[in-house]
Amino acid sequence: MKRVVLFDGECNFCNSSVQFIIKRDPAAHFLFSSLQSETGQQYVKQHRIPSDVDSLVLVENGKAYTKSAAALHIAKKLDGLWHLLFLFILVPRFIRDGVYDYVARNRYRWFGKNEEACMLPSPEDRKRFI
């Protein structure tokens, strides 16, 4: 099953999150694409992802998960105890997304913005980027 994580390629926090996922996903459940890329934009159009979603999206089984739902569905597939975070799915979405939106709104201020170049994955991880 193909799972694609779309991320903000200019966001240092988002790039770090992708590296975090890769390190905890030795089974390679996830592929990755920047939202700014041509491939990312195809996914946005195909899955009718709202234009205000600009940080992290998971496309899985033909469905696009956004905000906290995306993060929790990703955590569910990670090695270690990270899958336990999926229990937060029981928290009402408006609360989860409120916290997610707060972090997303401040991510450039807190973690910076990479305007010069995208991250360069290692040769073995390159095949996971589409």
SS3 letters for the chain? CCEEEEECCCEHHHHHHHHHHHHCCCCCCEEEEECCCHHHHHHHHHCCCCCCCCCEEEEECCEEEEHHHHHHHHHHCCCHHHHHHHHHHHCCHHHHHHHHHHHHHHHHHHHCECCCCCCCCCHHHHCCEC
Which of the pair, 50 or 68, is modelled with greater confidence? 68
- Domains of the chain: total: 1
Q: Which domain holds residue 15?
A: 3-126
For the chain, the residue count is 130
Measured CA to CA, the distance from residue 45 to residue 13 in angstroms comes to 24
Least confident of 26-30, 53-57, 66-70, 84-88: 53-57
Q: Model's pTM, two decimal places? A: 0.86
User: What pLDDT does 119 receive?
Assistant: 57
